[in-house]
A and B are shown apart, each in its own frame.
Chain A
Amino acid sequence: DTGVSQDPRHKITKRGQNVTFRCDPISEHNRLYWYRQTLGQGPEFLTYFQNEAQLEKSRLLSDRFSAERPKGSFSTLEIQRTEQGDSAMYLCASSPDGGNQPQHFGDGTRLSIL
Chain B
Amino acid sequence: KQEVTQIPAALSVPEGENLVLNCSFTDSAIYNLQWFRQDPGKGLTSLLLIQSSQREQTSGRLNASLDKSSGRSTLYIAASQPGDSATYLCAVRTAAAGNKLTFGGGTRVLVKP
Query: Which residues of A are at the interface with B, using a C-beta cutoff of 8 A?
Result: 4, 6, 31, 33, 35, 40-45, 48, 55-56, 58, 91, 93, 99-100, 102-108, 110
Within 8 Å of chain A (Cβ to Cβ): is B98?
A: yes
Within the complex, which residue of B32, B43, B98 is in contact with A56, where a contact is CB–CB below 8 Å? B98
- Bound CA–CA A105/B32 (angstroms): 17
Contact A42 B91 (CB under 8 A): yes
Chain B residues near A55 (CB-CB < 8 A)? 98-99
Within 8 Å of chain A (Cβ to Cβ): is B42?
A: yes
The closest CB in chain B to the CB of A3 belongs to B43
B 67-110 binary contact with A (CB < 8 Å = 1; else 0)? 00000000000000000000001010000001111111110000
Listed A/B pairs (23) with beta-carbon separation below 8 Å: A33-B99, A33-B100, A41-B105, A42-B91, A42-B106, A43-B44, A43-B91, A43-B101, A43-B103, A45-B100, A45-B102, A48-B98, A56-B98, A56-B99, A100-B32, A102-B34, A103-B46, A105-B44, A105-B45, A105-B46, A106-B43, A107-B43, A108-B43
Query: Which residues of B are at the interface with A, using a C-beta cutoff of 8 A?
Result: 4, 31-32, 34, 36, 41-46, 49, 51, 89, 91, 98-106
Contact A42 B103 (CB under 8 A): yes
- Most chain A Cβ neighbours within 10 Å, of B36, B44, B98, B102: B44
The closest CB in chain A to the CB of B44 belongs to A105
The closest CB in chain B to the CB of A109 belongs to B43
Check A42/B99 contact, CB under 8 A, given A99-B31, A103-B34, A107-B43.
Answer: no
